[in-house]
Structures are given as structure tokens and as C-alpha cells.
Amino acid sequence: MIFVIGPLFSGKQDYIMQALGWSETDFLEKAVRDVQNLAAEAA
């Protein structure tokens, strides 16, 4: 698991896609993001 933090809209997703060699489709299938929303729905 890779945990990436940083300012909003700072290119974190693009950086990870490039670093892992993933396409946008790969990223959407494999990445867990917006976890604050997922946590709120689970509570």
C-alpha cells in the first residue's frame, strides 16, 4: 500500500500513475481514494 498525502490538486494522482506505469483506467480500477468519503459512509 502506498499512502500519498499533500495539498489538494497538487498532481498526486498523476505522480502515482507515472511512478507505477499505470494508465488512468488502471488507476481507477486499482486505487482507493477519497477515503474520507468512504469512512463517512461506513459510520
Domain boundaries, the chain: 12-42
Residue with cell string 511512478:
19
pLDDT in tens, 2-27: 889 999 899 999 999 999 999 999 99
pLDDT band at 34 (very low <50, low <70, confident <90, very high): confident
- What's the Cα-to-Cα distance from 4 to each of 9, 11, 15, 36, 39, rounded to whole Å? 13, 11, 10, 14, 17
| Count of Cβ atoms closer than 10 Å to residue 16 Cβ | 15
**Cα–Cα dist 10/6, whole Å:** 7
Chain center to CA of 8: 12
Q: What is the pLDDT of residue 7?
A: 93
Q: What is the pLDDT of residue 10?
A: 95
pTM value is 0.68
H or E element that contains 42: helix 35-42
